[in-house]
Amino acid sequence: MRYAYFPGCSLHSTAKEYDISTRAVAEALGIELLEIPDWICCGATPAHITMHLLSLALPVKNLLLAKEMDSYEVVTCCAACFSRLKIANKIMREDPEHRAGVNEIVGQDYKGEVKVRHFLDLLVNVYGLSNLSEKIAKKMDGFKVACYYGCLLTRPPEVTKLDDVEEPHMMDDIMRAVGVKTVEWPYKVECCGASFSLTKTDIVLKLSGDILQMARDEGADAIVVACPLCQSNLDLRQPEINRKLKKKFDMPILYFTQLVGLALGIEPKKLGFDKHIINPAKLLV
Amino acid sequence: MKWFISHDTLRSPFQATIERHCKERIGHCYQCGKCSAGCPIAFQMDYLPNQIIRMIQLGMEKQVLSSRTIWLCASCLTCTVRCPREIDVAEIMDYLRRCAYKKGVIPIEETEIPLFNKIFLRNIELFGRLYEMGLIGMYNILSGEFFKDMALAPKMFLKRKIGILPPRIKNSKEIKKIFRESGRLGRTRRDKLLHPKLIFLNISRKIIGKIERFK
Ligand code: SF4
Ligand code: SF4
């Protein structure tokens, strides 16, 4: 299995552990991820609320780079990149007016033919959960996790085509397949405040605080995420949440790839467990 | 608050323009309020998302474009997936922001968000990928919050989560071209990308806020 890999800006900086653990898991499972050479930022939220054409041209440029690699499937891990790439593809397929504009901007002809997959999708629907279960090397039933999906992984469903919008279960399925216990909780698709981390920090603190509270109330020992923005809002800002909202959260926020890697018997050091602000050491014993 | 709706607003082409650009049927909204019920940011907004939709129907362009709501919307798409009339409320919010940018309507409050967006885009235009240090530094300077998140920076360095030097990639010429052409085709004036008035408003608000807290 070979795929063009689009890490995105976050996975090269604030979410390094997501990148490291994804590559480690892919290697252990025999999935080849080839990084798209000279990929550029997908534009994220600031692009689509400022200039519509730009927000399409940036992802399309990346998809074109992937096409040059002769790889007709792109794999990404970041929920925001995933959403931008998927939306760009859909518009390029269905909207001739925008297609003409974007093709003029990038100077190439593109009709939305490069497929885009989230790494979650790859594990569940291509690799298969039963195949994954067979590879378990380490038992991990000493703790319970709450799987948090956030906004962009499942919405809008006609674009992402990934999971149920209100009750997603893909990550829960993976966790159970590798032997990690999950809790049922109602905040799976709540919003963490997303890109307001720098601008409206108060909003982020409140929304992320609510999510942490609900996870703790439902008996979770850690939260598992698939989005670098969710992770940094919940992990990096957790000390600030504790200070401002007078709470005592000590909730590790992990990427699903890190736990899958652990279950496959990969050393914690190779999965970036040392990069968290809230130390997950208590789960690793 | 009292609103005066005149013949002129009712006959304004505002709704029709949005419907054409977003390919949405705003007239279909029957004001059930489901979009606002699920909106995570509703508690901070001046008008709820369903009110914005109603104001569009009534042609209240000025109030809509200068509202705080359009900037506070986090693009989480909750409203879009839940609307029983299948109106893409989030896309309409997007359109309204782009419209405000184009017309140069600068919000009096929530200036941080447009400022941040512009700094972010400038950053991508220069480096091709996000250069966090540049983004945070620039944002802190231009927004007047010089020491924001200073405590986090050393931790991030130690964990090697942010680098000091900007990323370097080969196709920087092509990126500049993408930005230039998008601006041209979308008729967005890119020289307004860092609007002085926006920066001034932001800094003055921050300083006034600090003085008031000090008192
Ligand atoms: S959910 Fe849809 S129909 Fe209901 S108020 Fe909002 S936009 Fe209107
Ligand atoms: S997309 Fe905007 S308006 Fe809609 S629910 Fe999310 S924050 Fe609220």
Question: B159 and B198: one domain?
Answer: yes
Query: Residues with Cβ < 8 Å from A73, sequence gap 6 or more?
Result: A3, A4, A114, A115, A116, A117
A93 lies in some domain: yes
Atom of ligand 2 nearest to the CA of B76: 6
Distance from CA of A137 to the nearest CA of B (A): 28
Question: A112 and A144: one domain?
Answer: no
CATH of the domain at B25: 1.10.1060.10
Which residue segment(s) compose the domain that B39 sits in? Answer: 7-105
Last residue of a domain, one of A101, A119, A137: A119
CATH of the domain at A87: 1.20.1050.140
B1 lies in some domain: no
The total number of structural domains that make up chain A: 2
What is the pLDDT at residue A130?
Answer: 92
Last residue of a domain, one of B105, B121, B136: B105
The mean pLDDT of A61-85, rounded to a whole number, is 89
A283 lies in some domain: no
Q: B78: buried, middle or exposed (CB in 10 Å: 19+, 13-18, 0-12)?
A: buried
Atom of ligand 1 nearest to the CA of B86: 2
| Mutate-to-test residue for ligand 1 from B19, B53, B54, B57, highest number of ligand atoms within 8 A of CB | B53
> Cα separations (Å) of A179 from A124, A132, A136, B142?
15, 10, 8, 49
CATH of the domain at A180: 3.40.50.11810
B170 lies in some domain: yes
Question: B70 and B148: one domain?
Answer: no
Distance from CA of B6 to the nearest CA of A (A): 30
Nearest-ligand number for the alpha carbon of B32: 1
Q: Percentage of residues in chain B with pLDDT exceeding 90?
A: 34
A112 lies in some domain: yes
Which residue segment(s) compose the domain that A244 sits in? Answer: 129-276
What is the pLDDT at residue B141?
Answer: 80
Question: A134 and A96: one domain?
Answer: no
Q: Which residue has the higher pLDDT, B11 or B37?
A: B37
pLDDT tens digits along A9-40 = 999 888 999 999 999 999 999 999 999 988 99
What is the pLDDT at residue B214?
Answer: 66
User: Which of the four pLDDT bands, split at 50, 70 and 90, describes residue B81?
Assistant: very high
Pairing assessment for the beta strands A222-225 and A253-255 based on DSSP bridges = parallel
Judge if the beta carbon of residue B77 lies within 6 A of ligand 1: no
Question: A107 and A135: one domain?
Answer: no
The mean pLDDT of B201-207, rounded to a whole number, is 70
Question: A76 and A151: one domain?
Answer: no
The mean pLDDT of A139-144, rounded to a whole number, is 88
Question: A101 and A217: one domain?
Answer: no
B171 lies in some domain: yes
Question: B120 and B176: one domain?
Answer: yes
For ligand 2, atom 2, name the residue with the nearest CA: B73
Question: A198 and A228: one domain?
Answer: yes
A160 lies in some domain: yes
Last residue of a domain, one of A100, A119, A138: A119
Six token digits for residue B129: 């990928």
| Cα A213 to averaged position of ligand 2 atoms, centre (Å) | 22
Report the Cα A106 to chain-centroid distance in Å: 27
Question: B116 and B164: one domain?
Answer: yes
| Cα A250 to averaged position of ligand 1 atoms, centre (Å) | 39
Judge if the beta carbon of residue B90 lies within 6 A of ligand 2: yes
User: Which of the four pLDDT bands, split at 50, 70 and 90, describes residue B105?
Assistant: confident
Last residue of a domain, one of B60, B82, B105: B105
* Residue contact B186–A52, C-beta within 8 A: yes
The mean pLDDT of A106-122, rounded to a whole number, is 91
Six token digits for residue A272: 């970036």
The mean pLDDT of A146-152, rounded to a whole number, is 92
Does B191 have pLDDT greater than 60?
no
What is the pLDDT at residue A174?
Answer: 94
User: Which of the four pLDDT bands, split at 50, 70 and 90, describes residue A45?
Assistant: confident
Inter-helix orientation angle B172-185/B112-127, to 10°: 140
User: Which of the four pLDDT bands, split at 50, 70 and 90, describes residue B197?
Assistant: low
Judge if the beta carbon of residue B31 lies within 6 A of ligand 1: yes
Question: B50 and B74: one domain?
Answer: yes
The rounded distance, in Å, linking the Cα atoms of A131 and B204 is 59
Last residue of a domain, one of A93, A119, A145: A119
Distance from CA of B25 to the nearest CA of A (A): 17
| Mutate-to-test residue for ligand 1 from B85, B88, B89, B93, highest number of ligand atoms within 8 A of CB | B85
Last residue of a domain, one of B105, B133, B162: B105
What is the pLDDT at residue A263?
Answer: 93
What is the pLDDT at residue B215?
Answer: 64
Residue from A84, A198, A201, A255 to probe the interface with B (highest B Cβ count within 10 Å): A198
Question: A135 and A79: one domain?
Answer: no
What is the pLDDT at residue A172?
Answer: 94
A115 lies in some domain: yes
Left (φ > 0), alpha (ψ -120 to 50) or beta: where does A36 sit?
beta
* Residue contact B80–A61, C-beta within 8 A: no
User: Which of the four pLDDT bands, split at 50, 70 and 90, describes residue B116?
Assistant: confident
- Cβ contacts of A236 on chain B, cutoff 8 Å: 152, 156
Question: A100 and A184: one domain?
Answer: no
Question: A252 and A199: one domain?
Answer: yes
Question: A105 and A7: one domain?
Answer: yes
What is the pLDDT at residue A140?
Answer: 87
Tell me whether 0.90 is exceeded by the ipTM.
Answer: no
* Residue contact A52–B121, C-beta within 8 A: no
B166 lies in some domain: yes
Q: CA end-to-end span of chain A, whole Å?
A: 33
A204 lies in some domain: yes
The total number of structural domains that make up chain B: 2
Does B192 have pLDDT greater than 60?
no
* Residue contact A190–B40, C-beta within 8 A: yes
Question: B86 and B124: one domain?
Answer: no
Judge if the beta carbon of residue B85 lies within 6 A of ligand 1: yes
Residue B7 main-chain phi, psi, to 5 deg: -55, -40
Looking at the partner chain, which of B78, B110, B156 has a beta carbon nearest the beta carbon of A191?
B78
Distance from CA of A131 to the nearest CA of B (A): 33
B2 lies in some domain: no
Question: A134 and A61: one domain?
Answer: no
Question: B76 and B159: one domain?
Answer: no
Instruction: Count interface pairs A-B at CB distance under 8 A.
Output: 160
Does B189 have pLDDT greater than 70?
no
B122 lies in some domain: yes
A281 lies in some domain: no
Question: A83 and A213: one domain?
Answer: no
Question: B145 and B169: one domain?
Answer: yes
For ligand 1, atom 2, name the residue with the nearest CA: B83
Judge if the beta carbon of residue B41 lies within 6 A of ligand 2: yes
Six token digits for residue A22: 């994804």
- Cβ contacts of A44 on chain B, cutoff 8 Å: 120
Does B145 have pLDDT greater than 80?
no
